[in-house]
Structure 1
């Protein structure tokens, strides 16, 4: 059976934390490929200002250039509906027969997953690869995973990664303050941000 990873998010901007988590999931789970799916309207960020799709997609394309078995899906961007993960995963599964689909996400996102749209359907019908970092909510995450496995019989894999403590908010603040972001994003993304005057 083939295995693919789905990584959704605003990617505003994409950074080394996103890329490292995707590559770790690919390595540990022996995924055939990882598909990044930038969101148009994220349900938990409807009231936040989000950079235009054009810029977010271009930064993602620059960041992922040259990476093997990694691609971008524009499915959510081409829809006018809110980007609900359950709906997106159903669309992906319809495209891939005999394939196990893993949704890749970080600690904080997984801890709140039972609040997501169609949470029960999501947890009973999908597999998850959860990134963590040493010392960060480790016990809380372990308890959450144990409970979700017991209640929903969900296939949850806790990745042995050292998730980089980078946030898109941190990057925006650094750019606004005129600080360097070269250790947070690929050089091509940093150049694009400055050339297009983003996050000023």
Structure 2
């Protein structure tokens, strides 16, 4: 039986209930033996020039990812929080991350990488993007109401040639695309940060329903996402 490994990467700023649901669905849909939660290091396409877009310190995002991982109850899946990208001094490129993980898991392991639909339709802007399929399958998580019709022709071609059902991904090691309505993320970390900033202080603010209690406690403890105005 082929070993199935899935990588769920993101800034996780903060890690929220949407991430928990998506991680669980990802693991169950692909019958993953291992689920890798991979906080981003220095996402080169993220804007850093405004307070609203600034990415929190890697140490905080890693801590919140670990707290989130502890909330996942997946008895058939080993959950690993990886620090590969955080420990990398240079900007992180997904193709390098997947190449490194392919070496770790071996040539005969099915390796899948979860990506948001909004990122997927811009895949042709990524560094050496065609090589992603040399290392892993891509699983596309759509936001409710999001359409892949906006994908450029080069991505539409990949969809037509590579789309496969979930069970096929564990039969092959890499190269397929999973478009599955079960993989959907309807909570925005950007909105959560804006909501916390609007409260001016987390000390007496009510916990947002989209955040697990341990992560809300961490945000309050470290006074994250506070307005500088």
Same fold (TM over 0.5): yes
Q: Is the 8 A contact 1:38 1:76 kept in 2?
A: yes
Name the counterpart of 1:40. 41
1:184 maps to which residue? 210
| SS in structure 1 at match of 2:118 | helix
1:157 partnered with 2:142: no
Distance 1:138 1:120 in 2: 18
The residue number in structure 1 matching 2:87 is 78
Partner residue, 2:224: 198
Question: Which shifted more, 147-156 or 93-102?
Answer: 147-156
Question: For 1:78-97, what aligned pairs fall within 5 Å after superposition?
Answer: 78-97=87-106
Matched, 1:170 2:170: no
| Structure 2 unmatched runs, 5+ | 164-174, 200-204
| Shift of residue 169, structure 1, vs aligned partner | 1.0
CA distance in 2 between partners of 1:175 and 1:144 (Å): 39
- Partner of 2:214: helix, strand, or coil? helix
TM-score by length of 1: 0.89
Say which SS state the counterpart of residue 45 (structure 1) adopts. coil
Aligned-residue CA RMSD in angstroms? Answer: 2.3
Counterpart of 1:5?
Answer: 6
Q: Deviations over 1:44-98 (max 9, x none)?
A: 1153522111111111111111533221110111110111110001111101122
Counterparts of 2:137 and 2:70 in 1: how far apart (Å)?
Answer: 27
Distance 1:104 1:33 in 2: 13
Q: Number of residue pairs matched?
A: 199
TM-score, with normalisation over the residues of structure 2? 0.78
State the distance in 2 between where 1:80 and 1:44 align: 16
